[in-house]
Amino acid sequence: MTEWTTRGAWLAFVSFGRRRFDTAPTPDSDGLLFQYGTYAFSGRPMFTVSLTRQFGVIDDDGEHDHYVQVHCELRYEPAPDLDALGRFDSWFFHDADAELDEWFTAMKGRLALLLGRRPSEIDLYEEPV
């Protein structure tokens, strides 16, 4: 059995984020989202880190139809040091003239407090948006 850790999930997200896919030729067709905060999505408040990849989907006419998001949510029991982080979100879009390595470095810095912790829950899922 594999023990999932914050560091392992982050490294998988970085690897997945570096991989390029054949997406529509628009600036928002391939994006990465890093966000965190304390939310009660599952009924009780948990500090949640969401690592998301978003792909634009086009229709048969080549027009934007919708997005598909692939999520990895890491949930932690509430703690004062995590509550002090507040809420944060940041997008990165491939083909938008930004530097991926700089973005990953900045996001890893925001995750530093959690890299040595094991999440209480992990949820992997895909959804259309």
- Number of domains into which the chain is organized: 1
| pLDDT the model gives residue 2 | 58
Residue 106 predicted with pLDDT over 80: yes
Residue 15 lies in a domain: yes
The span from the CA of 21 to the CA of 17, in Å, is 10
Q: Express each pLDDT in 74-84 by its tens digit.
A: 999 999 999 99
pLDDT at 36: 98
| Global pTM value | 0.91
Nearest-5° angle of CA 28, CA 55, CA 48? 100
**Structural domain for 66, as ranges:** 6-128
The pLDDT tens digits for 1-29 are 456 889 999 999 999 999 999 888 787 89
Domain presence at residue 88: yes
**CB-based contacts of 22: which residues, under 8 Å, 6+ apart?**
none
* Interatomic CA distance for residues 24 and 27, integer angstroms: 9
34-52 pLDDT per residue, tens: 999 999 877 899 999 999 9
> pLDDT at position 88, please?
98
Q: Is residue 1 part of a domain?
A: no
In a domain, 121, yes or no: yes
3-state helix, strand, coil in the chain (%, to 5): 25, 40, 35
Whether residue 83 lies inside any domain: the answer is yes
Mean pLDDT across the stretch 74-101?
93
DSSP H helical ranges for 19-116: 80-83, 100-111
